Amino acid sequence: MKYIVVTGGVMSGLGKGITMASIGRILKSRGYKIVPIKIDPYINIDAGTMNPFQHGEVYVLGDGAEVDLDLGHYERFMDVELGREHNITTGIVYSAVIERERKGEYLGQTVQIIPHVTNEIKARIRGVAVKSGADICLVEIGGTVGDIESMPFLEAVRQMQGEENGNDFLFVHVTLVPFTTLKEQKTKPTQHSVKALRELGLQPDIIVCRCKKTLKEDVKKKIAMFCNVKKEAVISAPDTEDIYEVPLLLEKEGIAAHIMEKLQLEQVKEDHEWEKMVERRRKSSHGKKIRVAIVGKYAELEDSYLSIKEAIKHAATELECKVETKWIEADDLEGAGGLDSFFDDVQGILVPGGFGVRGAEGKINAIEYARANKIPFLGLCFGFQLAVIEAARNIANLKDANSSELSETPHPVIDLLEEQRDVNEKGGTMRLGDYEVFIRGDTLAEKVYGEKKVVERHRHRYEVNPAYIERIESGEVVFSGTDRTGVRMEILEIPQHPFFLATQFHPEFKSRPNKPPPPFKAFLEACMRKH
């Protein structure tokens, strides 16, 4: 097994995840099977309870794991299906070690960071690598070198390097080369970052330098000299408008050749699909322009809806159109009176997921506006539930209809199902990950998907209340998708509308650059017709 470990220095948010995803893509294009692992040093067990303002979107894997958004980059770039074992956190590691200690598995030893915690980390990395049957295991260590939380993980990979064959382990360090006001590229932050790494016993084989513009040759030489790497191993990673160009930029810089040489790899095949996709994306940027409003409660931090942004990009590439997104805070639509000023310049309205009462009424107002004004609409998860509430209030005439999650109401059209109630009192469970969705014939949903059964990822607890389904459907609304039992509603549509579709699931989580999710593609097609 070959291992590539990606670390970061100077500051967070430099793009370690994109760098590792790009390396994975490059190696996959050469015929190698890749398995990625993301290490998050925070003490949380997973990302499920973390605030999107602090951490960006919570990404959901097929097995229901709630993880860091970087795993979304891995799945999209490498076109792989990951599970909960691919995300290792401090919380997971320490919980396992403490549980073993309580069971007496350490036979009375004093349990310490070294060797017990580091052994647990190594065992988990190797376990995932071996189970996958991959050729190369990529490991991203979150945070920055010097963070106290990262120390056990850096020590664990240091030990692993000594335990593995010398040609089977490679370190990539991502760092920052800032510009001064005089347009000078400064190497000191990179030097200090690598110095901190070397003090921990780790020597990078490749240094990926994030910068505004391509590194000058003398800057590369200086970094190579002070950081003890070959000049060819100093890789320039300048800013780019499109993250999908990063693998091509790194390839052009020669990163692949350096990795192949160090790990003694031979090229198995040559795949140019990624280059073709990037070229299509460039072409689509000159295509028909449309504008879509996204009404969210975290609109000021777009990373909260990262997978939605990427799914829109993927669909736009296939349709050869350019999509401009207009971010609208849901709070601003509450008590705003007329909404024409918010939506008169858009061809479509999208209402994404999100928990809690804040902004809910604003989202409902946006949904009503889209329905009444025949503007193409796509609702996702909570957006689906709020579309049900809007239909109950304004079509089925249940004026006080609401979700029991949001308020006390005589008409809880969104509620916990009977079998969920006892479970919820014991702490609650969510419907997470892949579930089958069965689609009714002769519906918009069937036209969108082209099949009667699909598997989509979920992240919700509340459901459409079965007691109200008949009353809601008595108007112009149709529930065109359900679970296997027919009790849980999965898709809502309005046949008389140009395009009005809402899904209880998250189709954006399965989107790929070469395979956009059908609801997004159909939504943008409707927006293009509206334009």
Digit-coded pLDDT (tens) for 428-455: 578 999 999 999 999 999 999 999 999 9
pLDDT at position 425 over 60: no
pLDDT in tens, 202-220: 999 999 999 999 999 999 9
Query: Is 60 exposed, middle or buried, given 0-12, 13-18 or 19+ CB atoms closer than 10 A?
Result: buried
More confidently predicted of 48 and 527: 527
Pick the catalytic residue from 73, 86, 258, 506. 506
Domain that holds residue 118: 2-271
DSSP label at 531?
Answer: -
Q: Give yes or no: residues 286 and 259 share one domain.
A: no
Q: Give yes or no: residues 240 and 302 share one domain.
A: no
pLDDT in tens, 82-100: 999 999 999 999 999 999 9
Domain closes at, from 271, 289, 320: 271
* Residue 381 a catalytic site member: yes
Bridge partners, residue 295, by sequence: 328
Ramachandran bin of 141, using left for φ above 0, alpha for ψ from -120 to 50, beta for the remaining angles: beta
Pick the catalytic residue from 381, 411, 490, 493. 381
Q: Give yes or no: residues 236 and 287 share one domain.
A: no
Calculate the CA 415 to chain-centre distance: 28
Q: Say how many residues make up the chain.
A: 531
| Residue 526's pLDDT band (cuts 50, 70, 90) | very high
pLDDT at position 421 over 90: no
pLDDT at residue number 237? 96
Q: Give yes or no: residues 84 and 201 share one domain.
A: yes
What does the alpha-carbon distance between residue 292 and residue 198 come to, in Å, rounded to a whole number? Answer: 48
Percentage above 70 pLDDT, the chain: 98
DSSP label at 359?
Answer: T
Domain count, the chain: 2
pLDDT in tens, 260-270: 999 999 988 88
| Residue 43's pLDDT band (cuts 50, 70, 90) | very high
Q: Give yes or no: residues 317 and 453 share one domain.
A: yes
pLDDT at position 360 over 80: yes
pLDDT at position 53 over 70: no
pLDDT at position 423 over 50: yes
Q: Give yes or no: residues 222 and 123 share one domain.
A: yes
Average pLDDT, the chain: 94
- Spatial neighbors of 59 by CB under 8 A, at least 6 apart, are 47, 66, 67, 68, 69, 71, 72, 306, 307, 509
Domain closes at, from 240, 271, 302: 271
Q: Give yes or no: residues 22 and 163 share one domain.
A: yes
pLDDT in tens, 244-257: 999 999 999 999 99
Q: Give yes or no: residues 445 and 339 share one domain.
A: yes
We report the CATH number of the domain holding residue 158 as 3.40.50.300
More confidently predicted of 403 and 50: 403
Residue where the block lists tokens 């509206």: 530
Q: What is the pairing mode between strands 489-493 and 478-482?
A: antiparallel
| Residue 139's pLDDT band (cuts 50, 70, 90) | very high
DSSP label at 407?
Answer: S
Query: Is 38 exposed, middle or buried, given 0-12, 13-18 or 19+ CB atoms closer than 10 A?
Result: buried
Provide the 3-class DSSP secondary structure of residue 518. helix
Bridge partners, residue 380, by sequence: 503
We report the CATH number of the domain holding residue 483 as 3.40.50.880
Q: Give yes or no: residues 190 and 320 share one domain.
A: no
Distances (CA, A) of 83 to 128, 200, 428, 461: 10, 30, 22, 21
Q: Give yes or no: residues 345 and 483 share one domain.
A: yes
Q: Give yes or no: residues 406 and 263 share one domain.
A: no
Q: Give yes or no: residues 394 and 287 share one domain.
A: yes
Task: Residue 114: name the closest of 158, 76, 74 by CA.
Answer: 158
Query: Where is 102: in which H helix or E strand?
Result: helix 90-102
CB 18 within 8 A of CB 73: yes
Q: Give the strands of the sheet with 321-329, arranged side by side.
A: 321-329, 288-296, 348-351, 377-380, 500-503, 489-493, 478-482, 431-439, 453-460
pLDDT in tens, 481-520: 999 999 999 999 999 999 999 999 999 999 999 999 999 9
CB 45 within 8 A of CB 95: yes
CB 140 within 8 A of CB 36: yes
Domain closes at, from 223, 243, 271: 271
Q: Is the peptide bond before 115 cis (omega within 30 degrees of 0)?
A: yes
Greatest mean pLDDT among 325-339, 410-424, 503-517: 503-517
- Spatial neighbors of 133 by CB under 8 A, at least 6 apart, are 33
* Residue 527 a catalytic site member: no
Distances (CA, A) of 173 to 55, 205, 222, 455: 22, 8, 16, 38
pLDDT at residue number 422? 61
What does the alpha-carbon distance between residue 139 and residue 129 come to, in Å, rounded to a whole number? Answer: 10
Pick the catalytic residue from 85, 155, 463, 508. 508
pLDDT at position 232 over 80: yes
